[in-house]
Amino acid sequence: MVELAFSILASDFAHLADEVAAAERGGGSIVHVDIMDGHFVPNITFGPPMVEALRPVTKLPLDCHLMIENPDEYIPAFASAGADLISVHQETCRHLHRTLQLISEHGVLPGVVLNPATPVETLIEVLPMVHYVLVMSVNPGFGGQKFLPLALRKIAHLAELREEMGLKFRIEVDGGVAPETVASVVEAGAEMLVAGSAVFTRGKTEQSARKLLKLARAAEAAQS
């Protein structure tokens, strides 16, 4: 079943609890938290305190995307703050296998991220240990970027590998997911759809989330 992971990076932080509630009413079932450190990506966003602040606001799973250097140093803090899922970029992990183990040891579901220029093949060895693979369909760092079509090939490739290897990891996509791109993303094989600016529109968050999810579910139904 396709799920909507709404990215709070595009929300109105002054009314964050209301924004999360509106996206949830619209069918969003995962809260996506973009963690940026100003080093691995050219932007600075949230840390563990934001995750800790979100935890009492919603019962939905908190999906923390770590766009940071030295993620091993921060995984325990994000886990204790309330993260349910943590994904890391393989480019920042000296020993990716060990980092994914560390996430699991803290009772959190591990994920790994593919940047636009990173081949799927770099993840073959760790696919059996991840809960999900996040395909970046923009270059990480800022919201509101245009969707990169090359991501569709990666999503489809991952879906094929999953079947060939007899695995059950989920495929998440992040970047430029909007009404005009969501069908192609679902058709390629993505099941967790990260959307920010397409969901958080002033006064229309619930309606925007519902519309996007409806389009995604229609594309999913057309395939079955």
Residues carrying an active site annotation:
34, 174
Angle in degrees, CA 136, 71, 19, rounded to 5: 60
Residue 141 and residue 43: Cα distance in Å, rounded? 6
Residue 183 and residue 219: Cα distance in Å, rounded? 5
If DSSP codes are grouped into helix, strand and coil, which group holds residue 28? Answer: coil
Nearest of 222, 219, 174, 170 to residue 199 by alpha carbon: 174
Classify residue 145 as left (phi > 0), alpha (psi -120 to 50) or beta.
beta
Nearest of 9, 14, 30 to residue 138 by alpha carbon: 9
Residue 145 and residue 13: Cα distance in Å, rounded? 20
C-alpha distances in Å from residue 81, one per residue of 84, 126, 164, 183, 194: 10, 26, 36, 34, 21
